[in-house]
Amino acid sequence: MADLVLTTSVLEETKIQIENVLIQAGVNTVLLIDEAGNVVAACGHKTCDLDMTSLAALAAANFGATSQIAKLIGEDDFSLLFHKGKKDSVHFARISTDLILVTIFGESVSLGLVRLRVAQLAKTIEKTFGQNN
Amino acid sequence: MALINLSKREIHCKIVYYGPGRCGKTTNLLYIYNAMNNQARGKMLTIETKGERTLFFDLLPLNLGKINGFDIRIQLYTVPGQVIYKATRKLVLKGVDGLVFVADRLKVRHGKNMESLQDLHRNLLEYNLTTEEIPIILQFNKCDLVPTPIPTLTKEELEIDLNSELNTKVFEAAATKGIGVFETLKEISKRTIQYVATKHLSTKLSG
């Protein structure tokens, strides 16, 4: 697992991509984290109210734990990781090998739209980070 | 896996406290949390069982000030020590930049200390890491029990058991009283930042 060095250009480009694809679709908060639980980028209007450090650490741990469950039952990985709440829900998606995209959205946004947009975003983020390394 | 954010000028490192069950890993973090001021520490997160044993991990984020204009942010993690939580220990080690191995001075924990160190070596190898590469220091905890009638291991016995291969710096500690806790933290923070900085400061960070 190599260290991740983030340049200003990559970070800014990634944030613009997240804003355009997910935040403008009505999603509350988007966190891009690494597998060690570090926050790479945070977007959305609820970022100030949330404990980002704890959220990132728990999200990475949660993702790691479910990946292990997948392996125990003979799967490589679960393609969909989603927690439904009364008001807000959380969607997790792996981007390349080291990054995880955590999307928090309310009732007004459908899971289908989130999945579609996340899949779209995953490709562009992967490309942005790929060019950086 | 350190994260170096050139935009915010921040370096994030992950330090993991490893060791057998009930050796005092969480106690180390709790002492640090209680002793540090609000500006330097973040919120402590613990995922424990009903019996106050760590189930997944504890997390304590710290802000250690600036080096070369970069904010140094360290995240301290503990692992669950019990043998059955091998899979969770491996997960917590993902992206580790520095290690503290907390050994228990109680004589009855002699085998558990060695078993835990072997488990650490095995788990690191699964990430293609070794203790020769990752900074590691040893802490012999519960030294306050030495003068009591409770049978304890001598420092020399622990050195032979645990440090003959590692050959690293050792701190004696009594985590409940805070003895040796900050000395351990200071040393591992220094070594971890050096380890991360030597890989990156000379090249990308200078730009």
Please check whether residue B207 lies inside any domain of the structure.
no
Phi, psi (degrees; rounded to nearest 5) at B116: -70, -40
CA distance B159 to chain A (A): 31
What beta strand segments (E) does B41-125 contain?
45-48, 54-67, 70-78, 98-104
Confidence of residue B75 (pLDDT cuts 50, 70, 90): very high
pLDDT of amino acid A47: 81
CA distance B126 to chain A (A): 11
Mutate to test the interface with B, among A40, A53, A68, A128 (most CBs of B within 10 A): A53
Q: Alpha helix locations (H) across B127-180?
A: 155-158, 164-166
Phi, psi (degrees; rounded to nearest 5) at A19: -60, -50
User: Per-domain residue ranges for chain A?
Assistant: 8-132
Look at residue B50 and tell me whether its pLDDT is greater than 80. no
**What percent of chain B has a predicted confidence (pLDDT) above 70?**
96
Look at residue B107 and tell me whether its pLDDT is greater than 80. yes
Q: Give the mean model confidence (pLDDT) for residues B170-195.
A: 97
In this structure, what token pair is assigned to residue B32?
């640090």
Specify the higher pLDDT residue, B47 or A84. A84
ipTM: 0.81
H or E stretch at B190 = helix B181-200
A36·B196 Cβ contact <8 A? no
Please check whether residue B206 lies inside any domain of the structure.
no
Confidence of residue A132 (pLDDT cuts 50, 70, 90): low
* AA identity, residue A50: L
B157: CATH: 3.40.50.300
Q: Which domain holds residue B110?
A: 3-201
Superfamily of domain A8-132, CATH level 4: Dynein light chain 2a, cytoplasmic (3.30.450.30)
pLDDT of amino acid B62: 96
pTM: 0.90
pLDDT of amino acid B1: 79
pLDDT of amino acid B182: 97
A58·B45 Cβ contact <8 A? yes
- Specify the number of domains making up chain B: 1
pLDDT of amino acid B206: 46
CB A30 within 8 A of CB A117: no
